[in-house]
Chain A
Amino acid sequence: MKFVCYILAMLMSLFALAQSSDTVRLDEVVIENEPFQRFSTGAKVVSLKPKQDGESLSDLLERQPSIYLKNYGNGQLSSIAFRGTSAQQTNVLWHGIPANYPTLGQMDFSQWPVWMLETIALQPGSAGALYGSGSIGGTVLIDSEPVRLQGSGLSIRSEFGSFGRQFYGAKANYSYDGVYGGTKIFFAEIDNDFDYKLGDDHFTQQNASNQNFGVQQTAGFQHGNHQFSADAVFTSNDREIQPIKTNPDKQTTLETTNFRLAANHNLETENASLTNTVAYLLNSTLYEDTIRTTARQYSLLSVYLFSLTKKMDVRVGGNFNYYLASSRNYSQTIKETQLAIFTSVEYSPIRFYKASLNLRQSFYKSLAPFSPSYGGEFVLFENKNWRISSGHQLSWGFRYPTLNELHWSPGGNPDLKSEESFSVEGGFSARYKGRGLKYKISAQAYKTWSRNWVFWIPSGAWSTPQNLRDVVVKGIEIEASLATEGLDLNYEGGINYTYNRTTNKSGTTAGNQMIYVPLHMANLFWEVSNQKWMLGVKANNTGMRFAAMSNSESSKLAGFTLVGCQVQRKFNIQEITSEVGFVVENLTDVSYENIKNLAMPGRNYQINISIKL
């Protein structure tokens, strides 16, 4: 039955029509050149912009076919796994600087609300390995382009929702004579006392509350063709780690503090640009008020981009990352240095073909994979309305072991090797832009051969990580989107479907699907709007996943479909724009699990109010 649904969905997608999700609606932001998103010819890069100020990152991301959001409960640790790989195989870059927590090797996106970022882009596939470790699955780029705020403005927003959810945010932009600045602040909390079912009994979730606070200051100025900018972000999260359903009284606390500072210099000339960034990132956690783990990261990044000929652009660069980490779980202060140099060439020998070659060499102890990638794009057909193209890519990726995997005491294994991968991908996309009608259909197919996946194995009184598994991923992503207008209304919709077969190649379960990789995922959304009103509905389907490698009946986590809808109403009173919205999530009150044994909320509601001056 499900299969029939997917086939139907795919058929529908062929008739449905489209607009890519890179809608830009925030008008106070100007994006200049893109030193990090270029040179990805042949691969898919998705630039996302929050449509509303308050849109949550998960709302923004759940529409994307390439990723699977792993939520360890409601408002809990939330990481991203691309294309059937693991969350640690996702690279996260902030201003081009690796920003995954170095201890865990992943990012908790629940602590990074959309309120605190301007742009986010996804680059599925391992070509992002050019920017560092962890890009086996894909790369998330946050605020990676130099952003220049213009004009002045003030916005405030509040949200009130089920289970004691509250959000208060304010942001201001100001500029004077080439000097500009922006300040943002937010506070959010949730009690998370939602009801859930276990067997035939009903329970109320306890010990899962969550508080977030953040403040961000950006500033910059332009002097001739030099641009200087700085971005400082502080966030703090105080959380009760949601207990499993069968042990609901357990209370465990985790406080997380992040501080990120990046200073950027950008020089633009007619044929070249030079970007230099220095950054300091601090990630500190306090577990159960007793175990403090602090990781500090000092980073440098330099990228020079120039046009060699009219048909050839070249990029050369390097990055340097130095990590200092201390914890009761490490026997001593950890010091790690990672260095990499890279170069890229983008060449368009003929009008209809464009190719890019990226080369990267890392230097890190003896673990230094060479990670090149090659991609190309044919434009098969192009006219005023249509653009039909086909892309292809080969890439090598890798992931360094995390500090915990290397140095956790007891059990850490300093002899771990990097996880490595080789991927091929190909796809096509057709885009139509006409009067009052835009649509897009695209499909990608990919295969990744990877080895040395790290798993922990019991070893006496504790466990120790080893390079244990080889894994092959093959998958497809199909997307269609449409934007049109009529009857004084704008319509926008999209549908996508993803298939990921992630096969373990090692041990007694060779041939089985890896854990927490849904074989099928599908999303659907439809929005109708005019100047004042916006009405949206969405449905996200996550297929069955296995929680254990046995792939046994009992390890199955049932698939689920979450339906949501929202209404937004805009009011314009002179210079003030205000917006009021009402959101319903999990409309059909489905009982589901993202991670085995962790309850998720049923139907819930939210009211939001924003005011923009």
Chain B
Amino acid sequence: MQKVAFYSLLLLSILTVSCLDSNDDPKPQTPVVEDFKEGVFIVNEGGFEKSEGSLSFFNPQTINLTNEAYALVNTDETVGDVLQSVYATGDEMFLIVNNDNKVIVTDDSLRLKRTMTNFSLPRNMVSYEGKGYITETVSYAESGRVAVLDLERGFVSKTIAMDWYPESLVIAGDHLYVSNQGSDNLYVVSLINEEVVDTIAVGASPGRMVLDDDGDIWVACGGGYGADYAPLNNGALYEVDPETNAVVSTVDLGMNIDAKIAINNEGERIYYYSGNDVYYVSTSSPATPSDPFFTVTNALGLYGIGFSPDDLIYLADARDFVEPGEVFIYNEAGVVVSNFTVGQLPNGFLFD
């Protein structure tokens, strides 16, 4: 009972503060514990070795922002060091804590169920028919792997060797595509026998992958660097046909980008950013954009992008490692809708 009262008070104070901060008219107080439905989780990575990873939750209907959502639900629990990404499947959420080499499993209201350890620098996750697939860097001096997770029984059943720095994953048909950031290629894994069946060469530093309206895979290639880290300005988007595993088109972006992209709900506009400039490429008529679509002038350092079910572009500004991050929301006309302050180093979004 005391705990409920404590939570309610805590939440009430947070709600009050968040309402005070908001430019919108304060809504009638609804002092119920947020159920974290119909909104967006903001993944706050937190500074390296500072163990300040956290989750924020924003409900666009109620305009309520809950920072430190995980700590709020699980008293005295912290997420840990470098919250790389969050994945949801069924009624479970997976918090991938990179530098603590662990994955926290919660229910869909963020209540801690269990913590899985013994990962080696885990990065991102997808799932398919009762199995989870998590990329692991393993170490910066060796090639990585994908851990295969039995979601039913909750343990790693096997690992699949990858090339250097496996990063993102996407499932197309009955194949898993993994971008190997350090090897400039994609590995194609058969989900039937969980073996690598193909390798697709792409551009330099491939990262995030999305599926377009035709079911083609688009991979963001961040671009390479010369001997003295001078950017080679060869960032690119590669389109891969999962039927043939062939690269069907390439868009050279003429600059290095952060290899994080988001695609709109129609699957025909891919958004990316470089510095504080946001661009998009149309999947139906791919061409290098000449000018930014818009610039997030108040951002210090964009570090993540997402596209919401209600057609808004979410951008995460990581600020300067010591100041809390800022989220900027734009509509598809490139007009800013709102912004709010989240946890340290926001790097991405999970839309519920």
Judge if A61 is at the interface, Cβ distance under 8 Å.
no
Contact B344 A548 (CB under 8 A): yes
A245 to B320, CA, bound (A): 24
Stretch of A202-210, A270-278, A390-398, A549-557 on the interface side: A549-557
Per-residue CB proximity of B303-332 to A under 8 Å, as 1/0?
A: 100000000000000111111101000000
Residue from B50, B78, B99, B275 within 8 A of A459 (CB atoms) = B275
With contacts A199-B76, A507-B319, A554-B71 taken as known, whether A458 is within 8 angstroms of B345 at the C-beta atoms is yes
Query: A443 in the interface, Cβ–Cβ < 8 Å?
Result: no
Distance, CA A468 to CA B322, complexed state (A):
12
Determine whether B95 belongs to the interface, using a CB cutoff of 8 Å to chain A: no
Instruction: Give Cα distance in the complex from A15 to B320, angstroms.
Output: 46
| A455 on interface, CB distance cutoff 8 Å | yes
Give B96-143 interface residues, CB cut-off 8 Å to A.
99-101
Q: Which of A496-518 contact B (CB under 8 A)?
A: 507-509, 515
Cβ of A409 under 8 Å from chain B: yes
Note all chain A residues with C-beta closer than 8 A to B50.
Answer: 547-548, 596-597
Q: Does B84 contact A (CB under 8 A)?
A: no
B155 at the interface (CB under 8 A from A): no
Can you add 16 more A-B contacts, CB < 8 Å, to A468-B300, A552-B324, A555-B52? A244-B49, A246-B51, A246-B80, A247-B100, A247-B101, A456-B321, A468-B320, A515-B322, A548-B47, A548-B50, A550-B341, A552-B67, A554-B52, A554-B68, A554-B71, A597-B49
**Is B163 on the interface with A (CB-CB < 8 A)?**
no
Q: Does B228 contact A (CB under 8 A)?
A: yes
Instruction: Kindly state whether residue B301 has any CB partner on chain A within 8 Å.
Output: yes
A457-B300 contact given A508-B319, A552-B324, CB 8 Å threshold: yes
CA distance A459 to B303 in the complex (A): 8
Q: A332 and B228: CB pair below 8 A? A: yes
Interface pairs (19), CB distance under 8 Å:
A244-B49, A246-B80, A247-B101, A331-B227, A331-B228, A457-B300, A457-B301, A458-B301, A458-B321, A460-B257, A463-B301, A463-B321, A507-B323, A547-B50, A547-B52, A548-B50, A548-B322, A552-B68, A597-B51
Which B residues lie within 8 Å of A247 (CB)? 49, 81, 99-101
A455 contact from B274, B322, B324, Cβ within 8 A: B322
Instruction: Please measure, in the bound complex, the distance between the C-alpha atom of A550 and the C-alpha atom of B340, giving whole angstroms.
Output: 13
The CA-CA distance from A549 to B81 in the complex, in Å, is: 18
Which residues of chain B have C-beta atoms less than 8 A from A455's C-beta?
A: 320-322
Tell me if A164 is interfacial: C-beta within 8 Å of chain B: no
Nearest chain B CB to A600 CB, angstrom units:
16
- Interface flag for B180 (CB, 8 Å): no
* Residue A414 interfacial (CB < 8 Å): no
Q: Which of B147-205 contact A (CB under 8 A)?
A: 205
- Nearest-neighbour CB distance to chain B for A398, whole angstroms, equals 21
> Which 5 pairs between the two chains have the least Cβ-Cβ distance?
A331-B228, A410-B229, A550-B324, A458-B301, A455-B320
CB atoms of B323 and A508 under 8 A apart: yes
* Chain B residues whose C-beta falls within 8 Å of the C-beta of A331 in the assembled complex: 227-229
Q: Which residues of chain B are within 8 angstroms of A246 by Cβ–Cβ distance?
A: 51, 80-81, 100
